[in-house]
Structure 1
């Protein structure tokens, strides 16, 4: 009996994930197709569809030879049917109020119904993407600029949601020990290869200027400037550490050649994970997320994540 229930449960989860990838108003896979992709018997597939309908996760409409249409879908109920009780994301270390506000917004909006939201923090987009691909997390947060770079490289990820300009960082700026320097030939420039944003902006800004790139962890750039080990670096102006350093700041503006893509927060999931993609796009309303983020940044709401 337990084995039978286990097989039906596995089939329900398999069928739910297949149906999740179907847009409302279009045909779901046939029972035969579901048998094959879920490695289940015909009877269990039919029981799974019936259970999903009875739970209110989906509404289906039979059209005979035209197939069965998905007329509506409740992604939270579908998550429950799949045995998904939590959603785990990873984002940059919360060293700025903007990141704290973003973490608070995601934590608040993704704790819905019986679904629990958890956030981990990891410096650099490379380890965040790696954690996502390996299945350690369900989604990760990066800039639009970084997302497009990973897609160009063939990384199997898709964007579930973009929150718009200034949702990820304010602006990146050039910090330097010499505010009057115009010729950068031979200058030692800090570059963090684990950060697509910082490394891309750095290379674009100093392209063709004959600089020496010095590998460095992003968080050490200010310290290395103060010690004289670097002459300049690209940095996030939101960082209080930068403001307190006394370093000279220059806007990089259009010299970066990337518009505002580096300031836009993008929520990214693995290719094929339609359930997480729909949960994010359904539960995270961009205007509400930005409202929460701004309230945290303005001190009107305590950070909570």
Structure 2
């Protein structure tokens, strides 16, 4: 971090560094007068901050007289430090499947590649994860695209910054039964998790017009209750189902099948005003994330997160 700045200059440094992150190399930076007016400080303060940034090798500028000053080089690590970014805190689904372990491993590797440590919390329920991003407790949340779009329709604070494509969140969902049957019938007990947007929506579509009892359970406990036959069926992702122990049936609702396409896609969601996070996600390769996830799923790479 750049030393020797007073409190006013330190505030300007943080804002200027964030602005310079988004300026392409060999592009003209705003004139001193523009920056002075924008940040409400004198020209001398702007000039001093830019000089300190150059001296610390954070940036390289070239003055070209009446043409203006051009950004010739920038040290991303130092710029991010000047912006106040020393690490990232994300929130992800509980890593109970190889697919989720692959995503967690890939996200850590991707941020490590751009020089920023990632710290992750693992939390049940997309609604809870997204609420924590709105509340500013986490920098990003990893959820399904369907859950993200549902939340964005309700809140102007959120935006999707990275999409990972079909099958990156779950392969698909199915109805899982404790005993062999021809489908959901009246009188059955169906497990549902009110904190899981995807599971709740699919379940309600699958039981539509049927006289069943919905049993509200923690998503992680649904499988145990199905084994114990305290519920008859549940909607679950097929990635971690032992097909020898349970009976699977494809989703029957056309609407559910269509929604499941978005539910299979993993996305990262941030607060739309968090421009630093947007910049960092722009540095992350989707293909790199998918390659690492696949290696973990195949057992070629040991999960690390």
Fold match by TM threshold 0.5: yes
The 1-side partners of 2:40 and 2:202 are apart by 47
Q: Name the residue aligned to 1:159.
A: 160
The 2-side partners of 1:32 and 1:187 are apart by 71
1:39 deviation in Å?
5.4
Q: Name the residue aligned to 1:116.
A: 117
Q: TM-score, normalised by structure 1?
A: 0.83
Q: Name the residue aligned to 1:202.
A: 203
Task: Assess, with a 3 A threshold, how the Cα gap between structure 1 residues 69 and 231 changes in structure 2: closer, same or farther.
Answer: farther
Mapping 1:65-84, distance limit 5 Å: 75-84=76-85
Task: Assess, with a 3 A threshold, how the Cα gap between structure 1 residues 50 and 213 changes in structure 2: closer, same or farther.
Answer: farther
Contact 1:190 1:230 in 2 (8 A): yes
TM-superposition CA deviations, 1:269-291 (whole Å, max 9, x none): 11111111111121x21111111
Contact 2:61 2:69 in 1 (8 A): no
Q: Name the residue aligned to 1:105.
A: 106
Gaps of 5+ in 1: none
1:291 matches 2:291? yes
Task: Assess, with a 3 A threshold, how the Cα gap between structure 1 residues 230 and 128 changes in structure 2: closer, same or farther.
Answer: same
1:105 deviation in Å?
0.7
1:175 deviation in Å?
0.9
Contact 1:91 1:122 in 2 (8 A): yes
SS state at 1:119 partner: strand
Q: Name the residue aligned to 2:231.
A: 230
Aligned residues: 300
Contact 2:162 2:267 in 1 (8 A): yes
Q: TM-score, normalised by structure 2?
A: 0.83
The 2-side partners of 1:107 and 1:75 are apart by 18
Contact 2:183 2:249 in 1 (8 A): no
CA RMSD, aligned part only? 3.2
Tell which deviates more after alignment, 181-190 or 80-89: 181-190
TM-superposition CA deviations, 1:159-203 (whole Å, max 9, x none): 111111111112111112343244533433222121111112222
Gaps of 5+ in 2: none
The 2-side partners of 1:61 and 1:285 are apart by 34
